Amino acid sequence: MKKLLKICLGIIVISAMCIGCKKDKNDDPDKGKYVSYENVRTFFSNNGEQSQSFKISAAQTQTITGKKGTKITFMANSFVNASGQAVTGDIDIELKELLDKHDILLSDKPTVSYGRLLETGGVFYIKATQNGQRLKSVNPVKISYNYTNLQNDMQVFSLAYPTDSVPTWTLRNDSSLVTTDSLTYNMWLYPTFPDSIGWINCDRFYNVSPRTNIEVTSNDFPDINNTVIYIYFKTINSIDCIGKDNNNKFISMPVPENYNVTILAVSIKDKLLYYAKQDLTITTNAKVDVTFQVTTEDELKNIIKNL
């Protein structure tokens, strides 16, 4: 009888443990919010501007039109392979159009050039391939698009990743230039690239004074080494990305004072996505403390689109 009682008690204890485990799992407040990746920048690569695909003939001058109205003209017999040999036949063109700040932020392409703030007139990604091999254009590629913020002093920049995978824009040293067609009021960009095109940005340096630094702090960084922080300017087409210095502090490059901005921080820990958001008017040596909360990909995308 005692042996039977012990067996019954053992079954009850094991059953209770199983029920408790199942209850804990089902009661997870973050159930359904987990992402499949661990690097915070994967959120932006997964949710940024999507590619558009086109096919052109190498032997013809052709113009493609993106879904946002960008027109790109490729001259006939312009493309060569990595060995410098002219290519024939069909060429595949990949295009991305980033024509507002929300697209630029969501695609993780802040408007910064080696510690200097840029004001953007539009960001594009153009890639030409044949049979999976990247091609170069030896003639000008003409890009035209309507954009009310395009300024006469804007120049052509290309993208670089100098350190820590933080993107920055480099001013082109070739004959790339920006002009305006006064007859149609369209804005025209004429870049000539000796190499494959990739990411390009039509910008100007935003040299406004006085300038100061912003320090972003938090008592609850989910993972300080897996966090990105942006400054979203509300009245100019500019986005800064704040890097972490050697003292694990997030301190911005010099930015203009008295501008209204939103600080947006994104982080991932244990495959949970976090964000923090704080509006701010930039004052001298501004310091802002942010609080993180768990979010989902869809929620964060909506937050960015509504900045």
What is the full per-residue pLDDT of the chain (307 aa) written as tens digits?
A: 555 545 544 544 445 555 455 445 456 777 778 999 999 999 999 999 999 999 999 999 999 999 999 899 999 999 999 899 999 999 999 999 999 999 999 999 999 999 999 999 889 999 999 999 999 888 888 888 877 666 778 888 888 776 555 678 988 876 556 665 543 334 444 545 556 678 988 889 999 999 999 999 999 999 999 999 999 999 999 999 998 888 999 999 999 999 999 999 999 999 999 999 999 999 999 999 999 999 999 999 999 999 9
d(CA 106, CA 97): 12
**Cβ-contact 53, 281 below 8 angstroms:** no
Q: Same domain, yes or no, for 127 and 145?
A: yes
The pLDDT value recorded for residue 146 is 76
9 in a domain, yes or no?
no
CATH number of the domain enclosing 107 = 2.60.220
Q: Same domain, yes or no, for 147 and 273?
A: no
**Which spans in 169-224 are helix H?**
none
164 in a domain, yes or no?
yes
For residue 153, the SS3 value is coil
Q: Same domain, yes or no, for 141 and 289?
A: no
Q: Residue 162: give the domain boundaries.
A: 49-205
Number of domains, the chain: 2
Q: Same domain, yes or no, for 298 and 251?
A: yes
Q: Same domain, yes or no, for 153 and 106?
A: yes
Other Cβ atoms closer than 10 A to 161: 9
User: Is the N-terminal amide bond of 222 cis, ω within 30° of 0?
Assistant: no
Q: Same domain, yes or no, for 54 and 174?
A: yes
d(CA 94, CA 72): 11
SS3 content of the chain, % helix, strand, coil (to 5): 15, 45, 40
71 in a domain, yes or no?
yes
The torsion angles phi and psi of 193, rounded to 5 degrees, stand at -115, 130
Chain center to CA of 22: 39
Q: Same domain, yes or no, for 79 and 161?
A: yes
Q: Same domain, yes or no, for 53 and 166?
A: yes
180 in a domain, yes or no?
yes
39 in a domain, yes or no?
no
Q: Which of 148, 177, 205 is the last residue of a domain?
A: 205
CA atoms within 13 A on the CB side of 234: 14
DSSP lists the bridge partners of residue 177 as 190
For residue 106, the SS3 value is helix
The pLDDT value recorded for residue 32 is 73
CA atoms within 13 A on the CB side of 264: 23
The pLDDT value recorded for residue 33 is 83
Q: Same domain, yes or no, for 55 and 94?
A: yes
The pLDDT value recorded for residue 285 is 97
The pLDDT value recorded for residue 184 is 34
CATH number of the domain enclosing 256 = 2.60.40.1120
The residue among 202, 46, 177, 69 whose CA lies nearest residue 124 is 202
Q: Same domain, yes or no, for 147 and 61?
A: yes
d(CA 45, CA 43): 6
Q: Same domain, yes or no, for 93 and 143?
A: yes
- Spatial CB neighbours of 230, under 8 Å, sequence gap ≥ 6: 105, 110, 239, 240, 241, 242, 263, 264, 265
**Cβ-contact 279, 260 below 8 angstroms:** yes
d(CA 272, CA 227): 12
pTM, entire model = 0.85
37 in a domain, yes or no?
no
Q: Which of 177, 205, 233 is the last residue of a domain?
A: 205
Q: Which of 152, 179, 205 is the last residue of a domain?
A: 205
The pLDDT value recorded for residue 67 is 96
Q: Same domain, yes or no, for 150 and 261?
A: no
